[in-house]
Amino acid sequence: MFAIPPTIQALIIINVVVYLLQLATGDALLIPFALWSSFGSGGSPGMPMEVPPFEPWQPITYSFLHGGTTHLFFNMLALWMFGTDIERVWGPRRFLIYYFVCVVSAAAAQLLVAQMSSGPAYPTIGASGGVFGVLLAFGMMFPRRMVMLLFPPIPMPAWLLVTLYGGLELLLGVTGTQAGVAHFAHLGGMAGGYLLIQYWRGRLPIRPGRR
């Protein structure tokens, strides 16, 4: 019942190890490996460190950094809860591809929104973009599966949970009522996951090739 599939197990271990390294090194990992909202370099108001230029690895490495134990715990809990059945159906390889497509699409959405705003540069960290993509996949693959919310403890079908989360993220992102949370990155992870699933299902103009 509590078995962890190999890909999810590896992701959890890597995230925990990286977080322990964060605790040991302070901001040393944040500077080169977080996803920065500026493509330039130099200082930024409110940030005591130099803002590094954008690097091609940041749209992946940011997902292994976390802003605290609670941040890490709930991301890994959701990854296990919603990803276990998906990995068992898809297999490790396809699940890993899906997860990182969601991570990268979340990063792209975050960078796009950041470039459209005039605020100071800031780092984005956390596995939430990939986790929200996994949540969307769970809702699409098991839409009638009943899930229980933690706060409040209300049971609901998976499709409704995904719909409510997506709507809430859009509302919070547009209104800016929950500062410090990358709501559009979460939506980007869900959008990337949806497009990839539709591609695999042959429902996009570009179809997967035969093997």
Q: Average the pLDDT over each of 92-96, 182-186, 206-210 and give the range with the smallest value.
A: 206-210
Look at residue 210 in the predicted model and tell me its pLDDT. Answer: 55
Residue 126 has pLDDT above 50, yes or no: yes
Dist CA 99 CA 83 (whole Å): 9
* Residues in contact with 185: Cβ distance below 8 Å, sequence separation at least 6, in sequence order: 106, 107, 109, 110, 124, 128, 129
Residue 60 falls inside a structural domain: yes
Residue 75 falls inside a structural domain: yes
Residue 41 falls inside a structural domain: yes
**Number of folded domains in the chain?**
1
Q: Which domain holds residue 138?
A: 6-200
Dist CA 187 CA 170 (whole Å): 7
Query: What is the domain-level CATH number for residue 195?
Result: 1.20.1540.10
Number of other residues whose CB lies within 10 A of the CB of residue 176: 10
Residue 79 falls inside a structural domain: yes
Instruction: Concatenate the DSSP letters of all residues of 1-53 into one string.
Output: -----HHHHHHHHHHHHHHHHHHHHGGGTHHHHSEES-SS-EEETTEEEEEPP
Q: What average pLDDT does range 203-208 have in this prediction?
A: 74
* Residues in contact with 140: Cβ distance below 8 Å, sequence separation at least 6, in sequence order: 159, 162, 194, 197
- Identify the DSSP state of 105: H
* Percent with pLDDT over 70 in the chain: 84
Look at residue 207 in the predicted model and tell me its pLDDT. Answer: 66
Residue 180 falls inside a structural domain: yes
Is 155 strand, coil or helix? strand
Helices (H) and strands (E) in the chain, counts: 8, 6
Q: What average pLDDT does range 183-190 have in this prediction?
A: 90
Residue 207 falls inside a structural domain: no
Q: When comparing pLDDT for 204 and 77, which is higher?
A: 77
Look at residue 48 in the predicted model and tell me its pLDDT. Answer: 45
CA dihedral 111, 122, 12, 15 (to 10 degrees): 130
Integer-rounded Cα Rg, in Å, for the chain is 17
Residue 36 falls inside a structural domain: yes
- Residue-wise pLDDT for 39-93, tens only, equals 544 444 444 456 677 788 999 999 999 999 999 999 999 999 999 999 999 999 9
| CA distances from residue 36 to 33, 93, 107, 118, 132 in whole angstroms, order as listed | 9, 29, 10, 14, 20
Question: Sorting pLDDT into bands at 50, 70 and 90, what band is 177?
Answer: low
- Residue-wise pLDDT for 128-174, tens only, equals 999 999 999 999 999 999 988 766 788 889 999 899 888 888 877 77
Residue 172 falls inside a structural domain: yes
Q: What average pLDDT does range 25-41 have in this prediction?
A: 78
Look at residue 41 in the predicted model and tell me its pLDDT. Answer: 43
Tell me which residue of 169, 152, 158 sits closest to 83, measured CA to CA. 158
